[in-house]
A and B are shown apart, each in its own frame.
Chain A
Amino acid sequence: MRIYDAGKIFTGLAIFIVLICAPFWLSGGKSSSPPEIKIETPAIQKLSERRCIEATAYMKARHMELLDTWRQAVVREGESVYVGSDGKKYRMSLSSTCLHCHSNKDQFCDRCHHFEGVEPACWSCHVVPGELKG
């Protein structure tokens, strides 16, 4: 069995392997630590019951799903109230409800998002508390 252009092939293969392993050798073999998010905010400390709209596990996994449902309801159906699984009523608003408690976006939302490489487009329009000047 003859391999034609063996030199070119093996060189190319070597370059490919080096490039595809780049994430490993570029980070020096270390893994980055999971993000440390800070839950405590003045609004959350004032809460009588330390509970989000839904359970933590649900929110961690499905908060974007929830926001999409809210978006559909508020913008396209004209509805404004969400009745949670605890029976409580909440105004469906990212800025006024979610961020009312989680007012520390950069220490809460952003930490996980940066770690996961997620860039939600929401913030270009939805106002973050503290960003009151144009």
Chain B
Amino acid sequence: MKSTRRTFLKVAGVSLLGIGAKPLLDALAGGEETKIIQAPEALKAKRWAMVVDMSKFKSDADLKRVIASCHRAHNVPDIGDPKKEVKWIWTEMYEHTFPGQHHAYTPETIKNRLFLVLCNHCDNPPCVRVCPTKATFRRDDGIVVMDMHRCIGCRFCMVACPFGARSFNWKDPRPFIREINPDFPTRTKGVVEKCNFCEERLARGLLPACVEASDGALIFGDLEDPKSEVGKILSSHYTLRRKNELGTKPCVFYII
């Protein structure tokens, strides 16, 4: 039989169709009817925010309790070396919390007080802007999340954050975690971490660990819901944001 180019192409075309049929049918067969949904009890908001009412913190023990509840729940290691320590929420003196605000005539009671600082989950976050892999990204509800699986450890986000809110795992954190909470992963060497507004707790209908431990000193809620406690406080009190002039639009507000 004389095989022409045309015959060859016809045969090749039909064979390709035949070979392609099985995967196509497999895909169309569907099979499982699975889906992924949000838990019905999950807390939802248009824009999560927090008010830190420093007037409600009476002692250092109050602050320590709040910090401990967060660090325990999230397996935050205690590195010991202040240069390399990992912290999601911690304390700073007034002049370090609001460096643009303090002056020689600040009252002593404020000057000598420790303030609670954490990631501000900014509305215009520079850390998200600079991340080359979008390992850190801003969710629609305002939370700035870390994806530990994607982070390449370039630390650009740490450089970009004007609030020093991010920590890097310079070493393997596991040996430095006193008691591992099995309900939350640890991290590994070479990734950046920070406060995540307890998004894993919000997904199960729980308030953030620090808010629960704060006895009302931390108020958490939806900024865009005027009926929320956060909305009510912000419309009736004078509040400060850290480094407000930089335009990152932080969503953590302070009552001094």
- B187 at interface, CB cutoff 8 A: yes
Q: What is the bound-complex CA distance between A54 and B149, given in angstroms?
A: 25
How does the 8 Å CB contact mask read for B193-205 relative to A, with 1 for contact and 0 for none?
Answer: 0000001100110
- B147 at interface, CB cutoff 8 A: yes
Q: What is the bound-complex CA distance between A130 and B137, given in angstroms?
A: 33
A134, B180: Cβ atoms closer than 8 Å = yes
Question: How many pairs of A and B residues are in contact by the CB < 8 Å rule?
Answer: 88
How does the 8 Å CB contact mask read for B167-181 relative to A, with 1 for contact and 0 for none?
Answer: 000001011111111
B36, A125: Cβ atoms closer than 8 Å = no
Q: Find residues 120-166 in chain B having any chain A CB closer than 8 Å to their own CB.
A: 137, 139, 141, 143, 145, 147-149
Q: What is the bound-complex CA distance between A75 and B135, given in angstroms?
A: 10
B77, A134: Cβ atoms closer than 8 Å = yes
Query: Which size class do A's interface residues fall under?
Result: 20 to 34
- B12 at interface, CB cutoff 8 A: no
- A52 at interface, CB cutoff 8 A: no
A96, B182: Cβ atoms closer than 8 Å = yes
Give chain B nearest CB distance to A125 CB in angstroms: 4
A54, B32: Cβ atoms closer than 8 Å = yes
Q: Which B residues touch A77, using CB under 8 A?
A: 36
B188, A125: Cβ atoms closer than 8 Å = yes
Contacts A54-B32, A75-B147, A79-B38 given; indicate if A132 touches B180 (C-beta within 8 A).
yes
A134, B175: Cβ atoms closer than 8 Å = yes
Q: Which B residues touch A73, using CB under 8 A?
A: 36
Q: Which B residues touch A75, using CB under 8 A?
A: 145, 147-149
- A114 at interface, CB cutoff 8 A: no
Q: What is the bound-complex CA distance between A78 and B140, given in angstroms?
A: 10
Q: What is the bound-complex CA distance between A74 and B31, given in angstroms?
A: 23
- B226 at interface, CB cutoff 8 A: no
Query: Which size class do B's interface residues fall under?
Result: 35 or more
- B6 at interface, CB cutoff 8 A: no
- B35 at interface, CB cutoff 8 A: yes
Q: What is the bound-complex CA distance between A134 and B75, given in angstroms?
A: 9
B147, A76: Cβ atoms closer than 8 Å = yes
Nearest CB to that of A96 among chain B residues? B183
Partner of A127, one of B35, B185, B204: B185
B203, A78: Cβ atoms closer than 8 Å = yes
Q: Which A residues touch B36, using CB under 8 A?
A: 69-70, 73, 77, 79, 81-83, 92
A80, B174: Cβ atoms closer than 8 Å = no
Give chain B nearest CB distance to A60 CB in angstroms: 15
Q: Which B residues touch A69, using CB under 8 A?
A: 36
- A126 at interface, CB cutoff 8 A: yes
How does the 8 Å CB contact mask read for A46-71 relative to B, with 1 for contact and 0 for none?
Answer: 00000000100010000000000111
B32, A80: Cβ atoms closer than 8 Å = no
Nearest CB to that of B191 among chain A residues? A125
Give chain A nearest CB distance to B55 CB in angstroms: 33
B203, A134: Cβ atoms closer than 8 Å = no
Give chain B nearest CB distance to A124 CB in angstroms: 4
Give the interface of B toward A (CB within 8 A): 31-39, 42, 75, 77, 137, 139, 141, 143, 145, 147-149, 172, 174-188, 199-200, 203-204
CB-based closest 3 A-B pairs: A134-B177, A85-B32, A124-B188
A-B contact pairs, 21 of them (CB 8 A): A69-B36, A75-B149, A76-B137, A78-B38, A78-B141, A78-B143, A79-B37, A80-B204, A82-B36, A83-B35, A83-B37, A84-B34, A85-B33, A91-B39, A125-B188, A127-B75, A127-B184, A133-B179, A134-B77, A134-B176, A134-B177
